């Protein structure tokens, strides 16, 4: 009985190459599925009160930038979890905190103490001392953070999402 001739080496190589590439593609497609199945459960969303300083650190009528760590959606957020706000001390017991970001396109606003205005350098947005729009393209007032005083500490309520 005659036997089949052996397959040429090139054909055998191409068969193995096809099987190997198919296995690599299947593994690449399967890695995200395995990651999803074994990932930790999602963290509960919400806001947290973050200390920004002692009451004695702030003078009545003064507006200063304060920095705090915002609740991050992932534990490895690092520098992305750092946030800031403009904090005003209005009286002995009353504080107000405004977002650093213009409501037009999110550029960082700066406080000009001599004019008592927040100015956006990107498109000329101007906000009054109370965060309301004074001029330019911003569609609404600066976002505000809730603020409270506990003991001698001033706390800002930070959230994962922009305020």
| Count of other CB atoms within 10 angstroms of residue 109 | 26
pLDDT at res. 114: 93
User: Phi and psi dihedrals of 19, rounded to 5?
Assistant: -65, -45
pLDDT in tens, 136-160: 899 999 999 999 999 999 999 987 6
State the alpha helices, DSSP H only, in the chain.
Answer: 9-37
Per-residue buried b or exposed e for 85-94, using 16+ beta carbons within 10 Å of the residue's own CB: bbbbbeeeee
C-alpha dist (Å) from residue 155 to 4, 5, 135, 141, 152: 83, 83, 30, 22, 10
pLDDT in tens, 32-55: 888 778 777 655 556 789 999 999
pLDDT at res. 98: 94
Give the residue with greater pLDDT, 61 vs 35. 61
Per-residue buried b or exposed e for 17-37, using 16+ beta carbons within 10 Å of the residue's own CB: eeeeeeeeeeeeeeeeeeeee
User: Phi and psi dihedrals of 112, rounded to 5?
Assistant: -110, 100
Name the pairing type of β-strands 110-112 and 117-119.
antiparallel
pLDDT in tens, 69-118: 877 767 777 777 788 899 999 988 899 999 999 998 889 999 999 999 99
pLDDT at res. 163: 40
> Domain 47-159's class?
mainly beta
pLDDT at res. 70: 79
- Domain locations in the chain? 1-39, 47-159
- Angle made by CA atoms 92, 117, 55, in degrees to the nearest 5: 20
pTM over 0.85: no
């Amino acid at each position: 009985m005659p036997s089949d001739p052996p397959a040429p080496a090139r054909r055998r190589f191409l068969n193995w190459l096809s099987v190997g590439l198919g296995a690599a593609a299947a593994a690449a497609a399967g890695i995200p599925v395995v990651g999803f199945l074994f990932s930790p459960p999602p963290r509960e969303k919400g806001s947290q009160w973050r200390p920004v300083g002692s009451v004695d650190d702030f003078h009545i009528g003064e507006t200063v930038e304060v920095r705090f760590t915002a609740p991050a959606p992932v534990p490895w957020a690092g520098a992305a979890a750092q946030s800031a706000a403009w904090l005003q001390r209005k009286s002995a017991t009353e504080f107000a905190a405004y977002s650093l970001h213009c409501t037009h396109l999110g550029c960082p606003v700066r406080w000009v103490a001599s004019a008592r205005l927040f100015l956006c350098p990107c498109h000329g947005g101007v906000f009054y001392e109370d965060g309301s729009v004074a001029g330019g393209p911003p569609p609404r007032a600066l976002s505000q953070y809730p603020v409270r005083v506990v003991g001698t500490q001033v706390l800002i309520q930070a959230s994962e999402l922009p305020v």
